[in-house]
A = this chain, B = another copy of it.
Amino acid sequence: MTLIRKSLASLTLLTLLSGCQTAPNTLGGTGDLGVIVERATGSLAVVNTSRQQRVDQVEGLGDLSHASVKFSRDARYAFVFGRDGGLSKVDLLSGEITARVMQSGNSIGGAISQDGRLVAVANYEPGGVKIFDSENLALVADIPATWQDENGQEQRSKVVGLVDAPGNRFVYSLFEAGEIHVVDMNAETPEMTRFTDVGKNPYDALIDPSGRYYIAGLFGEDGLVLLDLWHTGSGVQRILPDYGRGDERLPVYKMPHLEGWAMAGNEAWLPAVGRHEVLVADKDDWALIDRIPVQGQPIFVMSRPDERQVWVSFAHPANDVVQVIDTETRQITATLLPGKAVLHMEFTPRGEHVWISARDSDRVTVYDTRTLQEVARLKSESPSGIFFTDRAHRIGL
């Protein structure tokens, strides 16, 4: 009897320990955590934004050369979308990969549903969207991106610009097909609405912070496509018809990221394509209001959470520079040198700091956005995307 009791007791101890001993930061809030994607090593650095420190490193995530990350509703898990089709669920508290599936041959990002229960992945090869249970990554829906070409043949298209929208919907674009699809996951079986002939080769997209406007950029022609999700019956409309490479065919080193658009007050701030300009448009009628000269081809144009500043990163060869613009005066107030090959910027949730990755300097620099002084520098091998857990609580992020 005594012996049996003893063994039960040690069993309990072991159980408790195995759930508790795994990482240095097991016990703690997850509101000030984040991850840095380290593309060369296929690893994730887990960071703490209160202390500006690395707290863990997670390896074995495959090819992270164009990886993006979403967070679970409880801000504990990161869903990592690898370029090689790998989808991994990482526990930020233990540093463990709790689930992983190779879900396609080539993928380009994902989204998490409004209720946090579903994770969707946009795939290039085979073209389509796969939707998984966020708990265990079990497949819930497989939606091939099929379309009819000019000869009436059914083809599959690469999927780009996948975002979540209110009402447990996912919205995405089909590159070859020139279509936008909206999938409603509240229905018994997923219901899809297709918008065809939206424009030539949509290559990326964004959704505004309220989740109402889905805007896709076109690789094959100038202009942008807007879908008002409050009025899907009205179809898509074309906005900013001159947005693009235009006739001059300047060398475009890298197409700008649409998800980097800044929304400041009633204005949208966006990177011009190929030109050394940041554009300002009116959010009511999408008319172009201003063009602000900058030092290179802009890639990310992001607003500080209080909308007073816009921070701009650039394409090669001017990609060791970040410029800061005052949204009221529209003047450049600072030109900073965070390192070689700046790839991404992420603001802390209330905007006191910004973290900037410089791939070829193997570091992430943290700036105070008020003083514009460096407050910390973290070593990181080929850092690219930086993502903080407050994204879990925002529409479209």
Q: B-contacting residues of A (Cβ < 8 Å)?
A: 13, 16-17, 19-21, 26-33, 49-50, 71-77, 92-93, 114-116, 166-168, 186, 210-212, 230, 265-266, 284, 305-308, 328, 349-352, 370, 389-390, 392-395
Contacts and interface: CB of A to CB of B under 8 A. Distances in A.
A327 B50 CA distance: 37
A135 to B, nearest CB: 11
Nearest to A31: B75
A393 B27 contact: no
A31 B71 contact: yes
Interface SS of chain A: loop
Contacts of A210: 265, 305-308
Contacts of A168: 352
15 contacts: A13-B17, A17-B17, A20-B20, A27-B93, A28-B76, A29-B92, A31-B31, A50-B116, A75-B75, A168-B352, A210-B265, A230-B308, A350-B395, A351-B395, A390-B390
Given A116-B50, A305-B395, A352-B114, A76 B230 contact: no
Given A17-B13, A166-B351, A350-B393, A230 B328 contact: yes
Given A211-B306, A305-B395, 5 more contacts: A27-B93, A31-B76, A75-B75, A115-B352, A166-B308
Contacts of A350: 114, 166, 393-395
Nearest to A371: B186
A71 B31 CA distance: 10
A147 B390 CA distance: 41
Contacts of A349: 392-394
A26 to B, nearest CB: 7
Given A114-B351, A230-B308, A74 B166 contact: no
A284 B50 CA distance: 35
Contacts of A20: 16-17, 19-20, 26-27
A49 B308 CA distance: 32
A29 B306 contact: no
Contacts of A27: 19-20, 26-27, 93
A281 to B, nearest CB: 15
A14 to B, nearest CB: 10
